[in-house]
């Protein structure tokens, strides 16, 4: 597994990766289910397309695709969060075709190593919806601990976690 640049050759593949196995699309008269259809805001992560645009207009973010055995399987966005003044693993997603195979855990470890090497940071934050039970399990397994942050708004429905690297 490795992190790869997003290029003009692979950007479409990156934006069409999704965590959505099925999405109910409400349209004209009857809703229908779309299989593997990316949405702007997925259940627990923003779309890759939105993240790419965010990285263009907000300083400090690095975006990479996650590749395994010559296939794109996921996406990540990480870097310096200027608003909260902390290093953050802002986005991590594994396409629904590749979930529940340990790739997410492996990818997070790889991103943490890259952040430590690239930025020299020791403390890294990640946030998620409190209902993201699978994600929280992985984060805690890797050593992230729940964080009560003064950066959190009272209306913020995200749970923050922090890891301190060696």
pLDDT digits (tens, 9 = 90+) for 111-125: 999 999 999 999 999
**3-class state of residue 105 by DSSP:** helix
Distance between CA atoms of 144 and 127, rounded to whole angstroms? 10
End-to-end CA distance of the chain: 22
Are 73 and 94 contacting, i.e. CB atoms less than 8 angstroms apart?
yes
Secondary structure tally for the chain: helices H, strands E: 4, 9
2-164 CATH fold = Aminopeptidase (3.40.630)
Q: If you average pLDDT over residues 56-66, what whole number do you get? A: 97
Distance between CA atoms of 154 and 151, rounded to whole angstroms? 10
Look at 33 and 62; give whichever has higher pLDDT. 62
Mean pLDDT of the chain: 88
Full-model pTM: 0.85
Alpha helical stretches, state H, the chain: 11-15, 48-57, 103-119, 133-141
């Amino acid at each position: 597994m490795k992190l790869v640049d997003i290029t003009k050759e692979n950007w479409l593949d990156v934006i069409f990766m999704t965590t959505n196995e099925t999405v109910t699309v409400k349209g004209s008269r009857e809703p229908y289910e779309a299989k593997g259809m990316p949405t702007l805001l997925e259940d627990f992560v923003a779309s890759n397309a939105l993240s790419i645009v965010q990285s263009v207009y907000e300083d400090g973010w690095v975006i990479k695709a996650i590749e395994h055995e010559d296939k794109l399987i996921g996406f990540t966005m990480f870097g310096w969060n200027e608003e909260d003044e902390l290093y953050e693993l802002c986005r991590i997603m594994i396409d629904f075709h590749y979930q529940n195979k340990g790739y997410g855990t492996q990818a997070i470890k790889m991103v943490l190593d890259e952040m430590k090497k690239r930025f020299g940071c020791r403390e890294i934050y990640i946030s998620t919806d409190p209902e993201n039970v699978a994600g929280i399990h992985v984060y805690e397994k890797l050593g992230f601990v729940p964080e009560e942050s003064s950066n959190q708004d009272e209306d913020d429905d995200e749970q923050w976690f922090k890891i301190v690297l060696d």
